[in-house]
Structure 1
Amino acid sequence: MSAPTIHEAAAAVADPSAYADEDRLHAALARLRASSPVARVETPGYNPFWAITRHEDIMAVERANDVFTNSPRPVLMTAQQEELQAAVQIRTLIHMDDPEHKKMRAVALNWFRPKTLKTMHSRIDDLARIYVDKLASAGGECDFVQEVAVNFPLYVIMSLLGVPEADFPRMLQLTQELVGFEDSEYARSADPDDQLSALLEMFEYFTKLAAQRRERPTDDMASTIANAVVDGEPLSDIDVVSYYALIATAGHDTTTSSISGGMRALVEHPGQRRRLTDDLDLLPAAAEEMIRWVTPVKAFMRTATADTQVGGVPIAAGDSLLLSYVSGNRDEDAFDEPFRFDVGREMNRHVAFGFGVHFCLGAPLARMEICSFYNELLPRLESVSLAGEPELSATTFVGGLKHLPIRYAMR
């Protein structure tokens, strides 16, 4: 493959199909990091933006949250999709800035503190055992993503939120349609109105859940959010259901991608799998490396509130910036051999969870789930290999593997 031009490389950042082709994507991002790390992107269908591809520059933008805000454009979408979502008035944490963001983040923060997560650890370990048992009973060959990786994190986050188990399949479909709207396998259709219908259906479901928890509070996260008070006022219905939607989607698909991408990495790097199996104390470091390697959240957007500069490039007030976490996590200046998968990697300053005030709320839970799953799986996994071609989802926001056929033997 010939090296992409700067124009081709910049266009790839906004092309969902590029994220389903890792060679093409990383070639484009490497070209930008080397020659145009703050690149202007003007591509049909999208409002213009700057692509920020170096780890150092991403961190600088994340630190300056007073200069670079999440609102009004937190996620890369087509201009038409931005208009449709604005009409729905969705208001999640990723759409907010301080001081409102800090207050809203505090509503669910206690659910992700170490003390709370410690009480959940044994239950998550039990669930990991259940899904490893399912893998063992699957007959030595399966699609690891669809049969294992999507279900374990789904069960964890939906149970935490308070969704009845009977509704888990519906939630799985809706979360995949929402975050996978750019992939033909997950999207309801190519019609943006149909994509919006998945969001409205989830909102309708969560509106009913919120009403139930206000009438009869329980000990789940849904009750905490539904009955929260900020600045002396109860949360509005749109704020409650937006919060639910964020927890449901971010708490599921990102962890699914990390677990499935971690499995692929262990299959393709058998020496690292043996190293980790022989020393499970490496699991915390290995989990961070899996998250860096996969980078489930591909990018977030920021908007400049004043004339400024990034990496020496002038940025005008009102300009949008795309923080390419995928690129930052393979930056040669930030990581020793960034294209080497290393379960014992030290000083792993990846940006997969973001940084600063918008650092991922659920990061501790995701780390716990990954460690619990592989702590259960690896001692029982005698051998594993690919049984077909892995397939990645087309996306510019959240995604990873959607199919991982494996052949394996369990102890």
Structure 2
Amino acid sequence: MSMSIVGQAAKVLAEPAAYADEPRLHAALTKLRAEAPVARVDVPSYKPFWAVTKHADIMAIERANERFTNWPRPVLMPEESDAMQAAAGVRTLIHMDDPQHRVVRAIAADWFRPKSMRAMEIRIEELARRYVDRMREHGGACDFVQDIAVDFPLYVIMSLLGVPESDFPKIRKLTQELVGSDDDELKRATPADEKINSLLEMFEYFSALTAARRENPTDDLASTIANARVDGEPLSDIDTMSYYTLIATAGHDTTSSSISGGLHALIEDPYQREILCAELDLMPRATEEIIRWVTPVKAFMRTAAEDTTVRGVPIAAGDSLLLSYVSGNRDEEVFDDPFRFDITRDPNNHVAFGFGVHFCLGAGLARLEIRKFFTELLPRLTSIELDGEPASTATTFVGGLKHLPIRYTLT
């Protein structure tokens, strides 16, 4: 493996700005898949890790959840941020392994099953209509991300939690700061205000919500989490706060990125948009292609619990591995013409939601929101075009477009 490939791997997978530059990102990942699908990355500020870029290897590692654990490093962050999160005691579902993971995941699982999703459909349809109407109120031009896409899924997940609508702007700000902590525009304004401060402020908010739900239980997800018991004992304060924070961030930013990226793809390819407008029955396939195309969760980490190998490369116990979902979803061995946006693609075995025991808890909700939004928007859309240059978030974890200026006409 040449030094140039090692350099590309380091820049792409450990440099947030690379994810805001898709041509650079995908050129490097394509080279890695072909020449170094399991590559060692050792760069300043990060603990070393192995970059895994092939779909088959990502799937195999996800299946072997006892050999490759989530704890202690589920997300790629600078070493300093790793230490701060450990000191704060953050333990979300993505930090946990079985059997603890299975028990804690079950607390909220019923809220995301098909029966519950069917009960949410009317509310989601109402919100989709509200936000398409809001596009019309903007007078035919808006920044689709900031004016529409950020708020629509936020309102869905906050409604599920039972958070009062007056608090939605506060949660929006905090979630954007958390997932945008590597982005100069989205992170907190001063150097002293690090990511951990946004996290602690989020914890403070949900601590008050927990106290309220324990005193007066209600019929919402927040009450389910606040009053959950494991082995007869309530969740610890840190586990309760971590649960809320994961649902608020994962249920919000990933879906807003998918909707924004999906609309961008449909603008860039009018033929695909025409097909979908003419055949709305293709919406389930289109939704999967939008999710593959955007891949809002860029990667997850795993830690080898024992000495092993991946694609013949020796991996020592304790080594970290980065599973590049972005790369897996462009793997030429799995997807025909992977760099073509194709709403009719079938099969579409993307890894955007992960696989195995850690398959995304909210996948059904995300799919439903994407389907309902575009089902409401497309029949009312008579024209649409870019009205400026789109911009993406600098990140190594969750992200997508942060600005999508558009001009359009709606009925």
> What is the distance in 1 between the residues matched to 2:192 and 2:397?
16
Is residue 22 from structure 1 mapped to residue 22 from structure 2 by the alignment? yes
CA drift of 1:189 comes to 4.4
Question: Deviation per CA, 1:289-336, whole angstroms, max 9, x where unpaired?
Answer: 000000000000000000001111110000000000000000000101
Is residue 107 from structure 1 mapped to residue 107 from structure 2 by the alignment? yes
2:17 partner amino acid: S
> What is the distance in 1 between the residues matched to 2:27 and 2:244?
37
Kept in 1: contact 2:6–2:39 (CA 8 A): no
Instruction: Give the 3-state SS of the residue equivalent to 1:246 in structure 2.
Output: helix
Q: Name the counterpart of 1:262.
A: 262
CA drift of 1:191 comes to 3.6
Q: Name the counterpart of 1:175.
A: 175
2:67 partner amino acid: V
CA drift of 1:234 comes to 1.1
Instruction: Give the 3-state SS of the residue equivalent to 1:282 in structure 2.
Output: helix
CA drift of 1:230 comes to 1.0
2:8 partner amino acid: A
Structure-to-structure mapping, 1:119-158, within 5 angstroms: 119-158=119-158
Q: Name the counterpart of 2:312.
A: 312
The runs of 5 or more residues in structure 2 that have no matched partner are none
Instruction: Give the 3-state SS of the residue equivalent to 1:5 in structure 2.
Output: helix
Question: Deviation per CA, 1:123-170, whole angstroms, max 9, x where unpaired?
Answer: 100110010011112111110001100010010001101111000000
Structure-to-structure mapping, 1:247-326, within 5 angstroms: 247-326=247-326
> What is the distance in 2 between the residues matched to 1:394 and 1:164?
31
> What is the distance in 2 between the residues matched to 1:325 and 1:140?
35
> What is the distance in 2 between the residues matched to 1:284 and 1:133?
23
CA drift of 1:194 comes to 2.3
Q: Name the counterpart of 2:86.
A: 86
> What is the distance in 1 between the residues matched to 2:309 and 2:336?
28
> What is the distance in 2 between the residues matched to 1:195 and 1:297?
18
Q: CA RMSD of the aligned region, Å?
A: 1.1
Kept in 1: contact 2:6–2:40 (CA 8 A): no
Q: Name the counterpart of 1:346.
A: 346
Q: What's the % identity of the aligned pairs? A: 67
Q: How many residues align?
A: 409
TM-score between both structures, scaled by the size of structure 1? 0.98
> What is the distance in 2 between the residues matched to 1:4 and 1:15?
17
Is residue 10 from structure 1 mapped to residue 9 from structure 2 by the alignment? yes
Instruction: Give the 3-state SS of the residue equivalent to 2:406 in structure 1.
Output: strand
> What is the distance in 1 between the residues matched to 2:270 and 2:63?
38
> What is the distance in 1 between the residues matched to 2:189 and 2:56?
38
Q: Mark the CA change 1:76 to 1:141 in structure 2 (over 3 Å): closer, same or farther.
A: same
Give the ranges of 4+ consecutive aligned residues of structure 1 lying more than 6 Å apart after TM superposition: none
> What is the distance in 2 between the residues matched to 1:316 and 1:179?
30
Question: Deviation per CA, 1:202-258, whole angstroms, max 9, x where unpaired?
Answer: 000100100100000000100000101112211111111100000000000000000
> What is the distance in 2 between the residues matched to 1:410 and 1:189?
36
Instruction: Give the 3-state SS of the residue equivalent to 2:18 in structure 1.
Output: helix
Kept in 2: contact 1:286–1:342 (CA 8 A): yes
> What is the distance in 1 between the residues matched to 2:194 and 2:318?
30
